[in-house]
Every structure is written in structure tokens, then in C-alpha cells.
Structure 1
Amino acid sequence: MSQAVLETEEAAARSMDLLRFATAGSVDDGKSTLIGRLLYDTKSLFSDQLEAVEAVSAARGDEYTNLALLTDGLRAEREQGITIDVAYRYFATPRRKFIIADTPGHIQYTRNMVTGASTADLALILVDARKGLVEQSRRHAFLTSLLRVPHLVLCINKMDLVDWDREVYERIADEFTSFAAKLEITDLTIIPVSALEGDNIASRSEKSPWYEGPSLLHHLEHVHIASDRNLVDVRFPVQYVIRPQSTVVTDYRGYAGQVASGVLKPGDDVMVLPSGLTSKIAAIDTADGPVDEAFPPMSVTVRLTDEIDISRGDMICRPHNAPAVAQDVEAMVCWMDETAPLRVGAKYTIKHTTRSARTVVRGLQYRLDVNTLHRDESAPQLGLNEIGRVKLRTTVPLLADEYRRNRTTGGFILIDEATNRTVGAGMIIEAQ
């Protein structure tokens, strides 16, 4: 194969669309099997991986190859037959690249599900056709809406065990649709599948002639995600200031980072926060050379026409479309620390985009029961895996948007100052 052909293929691979999706569901609903089936049917497995799984399945006397072993990588997961940690898997089709986050279903691993779904474009919730909707199914749907995942797919799995009964499918679909109407879910697709036998996974199955929708893989390949990105509000958190120490290039000053939202072009008027100074974009550089525009999630270096004092943690935006410059923040926080709860008066480090500061918990307005959506306004603290609305005060202003408007500039993490562990993840509701 010629070098030109290889370069063309590499360029095409780089330009392919990327879909991040997270799987969730109750224990034993078949999440790991479903992902293993996707990897198997898209020929994304190495031969030694498949041989190892086939050998284990044969030793156990399984009727089918246990594809769940491809994702349940921890020894504890294999011993218990459940998913504990977030397992990331990668595969691609000629149309799109995929990153899968296989998240745990059990309530005690809620923090892991929040971690996996926080960057997802799509959430895939599995339901066992024999059991129907259970408490964990509703909890995962709520967390999906809380994290503003734009697309949701409900896979009604194990349809082979109910003889592909259309009434079972419609009953579960109607019940879930009714529940989803109470949440802010903008795009819902429901697909009957059998992960074990591969029906309606990579291709449509003849066993469900009454189902007129797409197969799961077809939907994943064609779901439209380009419009999910915020291309209106320009937000460019500065990560690093580039000043080459070179005798050849003496006047280069660039600001490197990842575009959080909006579109940047040379000649655009911009403002730098928190200073409020204004300038114009002189050029936008990438590893492959200058570009005419930058959009999320591109990593670029922006050069301005004026020499302005800019450092890590500052943000480049539009003069008349700026985020809030706020030290008082209200947010929904998912608590992830098993050693100590979140209490009013506690102090932490807050990391928001590229800016870090110290923060104190000024108040806990309520703790949310994610199963019933009940608000407990008398709760004194947040324990492991609990979610609540919290008031924070930071030592330096955050350059923030509401999470519903911008998932990047609206999200943050809390870090324990003594141990440097991430103890909480937050979604900003209001910043002032």
C-alpha cells in the first residue's frame, strides 16, 4: 500500500465522528454481555482475547461464549458476576468511532456511574424484559437527565426469554416513556434486543417483525450529535501560555487549551476574563498548522493581536457573551468520598475548567432521593453516593455557566486538601 493511500486513510480516521456512550442498568440486566456482543459483531476483538474468553466459557460448560468476560476485567467482578468499576472500551465502524463506558448498576456504585456518564453523548439503559422497570432503572434515567446526557436509548434485553412477546415490550416502553416525561430527556429511543443471541444488536432480527425501528448499532452510528455541542457561547479556558525560548522565534505568545464551546476565528473580537481586557484573534494554531476556525472539542493555541497578561485559569470569550464571574455558587453535588461526608463548613479545593481555588460549603439546601425524587431539607450532610443541592463560596471567582447550558463550564470537582482525592462532582445551577 502506497504512502499516499496510508496518509489518506489516517486522515479519514482522524476526521471520523466520535460518539461517547455510557451503559447502565440493574444488576444482571446484561450490560457487559451487550458490550461484548457489540465488540464481537463489529470484529473489534483480538483473536487471543476471543480465544481466552471461549476457553473460560468452555471450562464452565456455558452454552454460549460468555461475552461479559470481555468487559468485567476486575477479578472481583468476575467472581461476583457484576460490574464494579467503570470499564472503558473502544471500537469503530466505517461510519463512526466509539468510546463505551460500562458503568455499574448497583446503588453503592452511583459515583462510578456519574463518572462514566458525565462526558457521554448518549446513555444506554438496559432493562430485563422479565423484570420490567425496577428502582435502579428509574434511578439511572434520573441520573442521565441530571447529567444532561443529550440522547437516551432504552434496550429491553432478554426478549428471547419472553418469546419476543410484543405486549411485554410495549408495556415496558409505555411505563418508561411515562416516567421519562417527568424528566428533562430530549431524545428517547427504545429497542428490543437479545444481547446473548445478538438479535437487534448489529442488525435487525427476524424474531421481532412487529418492531419497525433500527438495530442498536445502526442507531449508534446515525444518532445526530453535532448539534448537541454549544456553538453559540464562546468559551476557551486557557490551560498553558506558550512562549518558546528560541533565538529564532522571539515574539511568539500563544494561549493553549481546549475549546469548551462556541466557534473561534481569526479576526474575532474577544475578551479575557477575569481582567475584562479585549483584543482580536490574530491566528489559531494546531499541531498540524494554522486553521481558519476552532470548535469543540479541538485543542488549539490562540494568538491575539495585543499583548495581554493572560495565565492558566483565565478564559477567552466574546465581549458581549461572557460567563458569570462568581464566588457564590449553587450546585447539585454527587458525593464520592467513603471516609467522610460533606458537611456545612467543610473546606475543599474546587477544580473548574483549568482554574483551581479553595471553597467552603456555606449550606446544604436538601438531599435528593434519586429513587423517589423526594427532597430532604432537614439532611445534615451528604454521604457516599448521595446527591444534594449545595451552596459554595470560593476564594477566587469562577468563570462559570449553568450546567444545563454548558456541561464543560458548568461542571466541577471537589478535592480533599489533605489527601488530594476527588471527593465530589458538581453541576452548577446558579452562579453569582
Structure 2
Amino acid sequence: MENNFNLPQNNKKRVVIVGAGFAGLKIARKLRKSPYQVVVIDKQNYHQFQPLFYQVATSGIEPSSISFPVRKIFQKNTNLHFRQTELLEILPDKKKIITGNGELSYDKLVIATGVSTNYFGSANLEKYGLPMKTTAEAINLRNRILASFEKAILTENVNDHTKLMSVVVVGGGPTGVELSGAIAEMRRYVLPKDYPELDFSRMKILLYEASPRLLNGMSEKSGAKALEFLKELGVEVHLNTRIEDYDGEKISLSDQTEVYATNLLWTAGVSGKYIKGLNKEVYTPSNRLIVDSYNQVIGLDGVYAIGDISCVLDDDAYERGHPQVAQVAIQQADNLANNFVKKSQKPFKYKDKGSLATIGRNMAVADLPAMKFSGFIAWILWLFVHLMAIVGVKNRFFIFVNWAQSYLWRDQSLRILIAPYNKAKKDKSNQPLVRTS
């Protein structure tokens, strides 16, 4: 069955990497000149730049600008191979994995699958909430927001206008804060020009966070400043408030009140996925794989985990595991790659280079090791750091052009509805919510 992968037959030991995110791509590129045969598998054939999903969702940049073909990255490296398939099961005793394309043996297995959206057991939130963990989900979110305005303009019922135009964001982390700020700027500068017939005083942007503050992974100063920026943009922020239930229109809150909106954007939590073949003892309650300081999954020889899916519990500075951010993934991948090619083994130690979050035009917060600041300088730093992290010069150029256009003219040119057409069954989400006759 392994022949299904059509890999070169040689005497090289094989490193199989599951996932082409920040961690998987980094370790693969670090091993490009190593004595290993490196095989990367992923359900998608492209790398996704997750920190800018929210800009795709709010029509700020093209989806292609934050997506880069894995095969193009590997073109000049003969020992790097990519196969588009899905991991189904791990057989640690046989040193094999089972995928949608058959079995594949490994000498070293690196799990870098990342995490998925966590709805905390709520079936309704999973059914009706709009996640944003992939490029496809970001595009779907953009479609839903734009479609809601197209539907609103087809009805004269002002109560339905409020439900269709309003947006509820759940989760006060960087994604929720950045998404709320971007939608608020669209409401102020962009959407009224597209829909002059609508009364935008009826459009509410509400952000709900279950904890007492925003940006829990950053300093209290940055969280307070983010709250100030959001209020300046007209976002209604509700702290210490949980979403109990949602039926697609009615949102039930922990304070026993109800809110009505057809667009609920869920950014409140993440969770790993259980992989068949691994004992539950190697997982944390949030389904992260428990690894030692060398990123080897506890009790499994030759099986490693890096990035968001991994959890190092023996680091005194991070008793609950490292933060699930890109820098941790990249540093773990770099350290593990060095351990694979060097005789001496070095335990992983996370070096916090700081955190950034943007809220809107000239509004950002920065927590650096030496200082904490906010405003225009923090915003410029955020732009620079994220632009340089994009894969591909062409992608960086197009993102820069889109950012410049948005800054100079307060406009975006990407407000188009493009959804896959299903001939057998039309997508009901693209049909009017309210009949006008």
C-alpha cells in the first residue's frame, strides 16, 4: 500500500510530517539539506497564514495572498516530498501511519496538525456559529456578512435589518479583537457607501468575552488599551459574559438576557483532535498531545508533536503549556530539526519575543520584552512583522498594495460573493432570509 505514495526508493531514513502550518513547514524547510527523506502530508495543498484570516473575512485582502502552494516551496529540494492526504491512524508499534491514501512507514513522525475550533460541547453553537480556522472558513464568513447586507436591502422590515446587519463576535483574544475592529471600520467607512439605503445606526457590533478582560495572553495594560480602542470604534464589549445557546437568530447569554443576530462569529476557543491509535493518556483535557522537553510524545518512541497540538508540561515558566501562537510553533520546529541532524540533543526553551494585536487604523498594542506600548508605532510594527512573515515576495507585494489602498482611500475592492455552486442542492445560506411578498 505504501507504493500509493510513489516515493523514491533509497536508503535514507524517513521523517513524516503531518501538517503544513507554521510548525510543519518550518521543520520541513530546516531538513531540506539533511540526510533524511522528508514527507509532508496535509489535507490541503497550501500553507495558510492564519493571523490574517480576519482580513480575508472582512474583504481586506485576497485569500490567495495568505495561501502559498506547498509544492512550490519544495520545488528546489529533492529530499522534500508533499502528498495531499489525511492522517487517519497512527500505528506506533509498527512505525506506520494510515492515511486516506494507504499506509506510510516512518523512522520519525512529527505531528504538527494544529488545532480546531472548540465549541465547548454546544451542538447549536457548532451548527450555527461561524468559525474562522481555515482560509475556506474565512471566505465563508465574508460571504455570510456580505450576503446579510444583500438580504437586508431586500426587505423593508427594520427589525429584520437589525438582525441581519448586526454582528456578534465571541472571544476576546487577538482574533476576536482584530475581527471586531475590522468590522467596525467597515461599518464606519465602507459599507454605508455600498448600501446607502440602509440605516447603519441599526448595525450593532457586539464582542462577548467570558473573562474579566480582553487579550488574556497579553498584559493588562494592552487589554485595557484594546478595550479603549474598540469602544472608540463603536464596538459594544461585554466582559464576564458567556454565550449559553444560539439557534441561528436568538443568542442566550449567561446573564439571562437575549440578543438577536443572524451572524455569530466564534473565536472563543480551540481544541486538538483525537488521533486514532494513540492512548488518551497522552492527551491533555483540551486534546493537546503531552510531550517532553524534546517534543517527543510521552511513552512513544520516534513520535513528536510541535506547534499548537503539543503541550510541554515540564517547563516551570509555563505550567499549563506554552501559548498557542506562531512563534512557539516556529521555535519548536527549529529546535527539533536541529536535534534530528545533530548528535547532541537540546531541550526546547521558548524565547518570548513579544506579542502584537491590531484593533484598527493606527490602533494596535505591543507587548515586547523590554517595553509595552500602543497606538501608531505599535500599528506600524504589527504591519511590518506580519508582512515579513508572509511566504512569497509576490504575496507580500499584493498584501502591501491592499493595505496601502485601504489606508489611503479607506476602501477595499474585494467585496464580492463567490460561493461554490452545488447543482444537486443549493446553499440555503445564500437565499433571502425574509420574503418581501
TM over 0.5: no
Structure whose residues are more often strand by fraction: 1
| Structure whose alpha-carbon radius of gyration is higher | 1
Structure whose residues are more often helix by fraction: 2
